[in-house]
Amino acid sequence: MRRCGRCGRDVEEAVYVDYMGRWLCRDCFIDFYEKKLKNTVLKYRMFSPRDSIGVAASGGKDSMAMLMALNRIFPELKIEVIHINLGIGDYSRDSEEAVRRLCNRLGIEAIIYDLKEHEGFTLPDLMKTSYRRRICGACGIIRRYLLNRIAWESGLKILATGHTLDDTVELLFELYLNGRVDEIVRVKPVLEGGDRLVKRVKPLIELTDQENKYYADLTETPYSDLECPLISGSRMVRRKKLISRIEEEIPRFKHTFYKSHVKRFLPKLEKLVEKPELKACKICGMPAIGDTCSYCKLVSRVLEVVEG
């Protein structure tokens, strides 16, 4: 038996929120999680409760918890799910199945986009190219581009992604360490849209990986718990482990780091960094900093290998 640190009841089913140092019963945790997500959406003006939005659902615990919570918190919100099957064997099959199951349960329309069918390659094909040493970064290029394009082509003006506090701190840790100021200013809860760019929002940006797993489990939300086989030894995973060790020594380190970025550094950096001038990619017509977007450069390299 555990005593809930919120309602004071003695219960058999409780979860421990480490940065709070408190046990919460099932009902109190679900209420706490949903209020926190709702406050994040409202605080950063991500969308209004009656908007139509796209939700990027990978099939993992974070995006699936987000989808379930958004559906419960904002019952009038019109949601269309976008899932990209990256062709990573059992991992992708299990992820797609989880997305289909949750969408069927919630009665939400899902766009299932098969990378091999539509683009002619799978993510494992990149392991035969120079991208194999930065496969997670290449995956990010593919997902960002396709999610934006699919949302834009579907007439959606807002896209919610499942980036968590852990994801955000890991990225900021790397960017600050390497002084990549132009990219630092783009790490924020909301990225406004533009010509062929859909507004992107991060409802989970103040929620941890741990909280998302608890919520998905307690609400019996289907998700894939398989780990991507391509991330073995990735620097991203190593940085997350390092940050977790720092959190053990400095409680709430992740929350403090994130809030310092948003409240103190970001407003000053945005005044110093000019927004890049975007133009249409000469190949696909989507927004690009140079003549050719990162996605089209990647595709040209991987298709040379696949088709050659």
Give a three-class secondary structure readout of 114-154.
Answer: EHHHHHCCCHHHHHHCHHHHHHHHHHHHHHHHHHHHHHHHC
Which pair of tokens denotes residue 292? 């050719």
Q: To the nearest whole percent, how much of the chain has pLDDT over 70?
A: 99
Query: Which of 29, 60, 18 shows the shortest CA–CA distance to 210?
Result: 18
For the CA atoms of 175, 181, 184, 186, the dihedral, rounded to the nearest 10 degrees, stands at -140
Please name each of the domains of the chain with its CATH number.
26-276 (3.40.50.620)
Single pTM value for the model: 0.95
Kindly report, residue by residue over 109-164, the tens digit of the pLDDT.
999 999 999 999 999 999 999 998 889 999 999 999 999 999 999 999 999 999 99
229-273 residue pLDDT tens: 998 767 888 899 999 999 999 999 999 999 999 999 999 999 999
Q: Compute the distance between CA of residue 27 and CA of residue 15 in angstroms, rounded to an integer.
A: 11
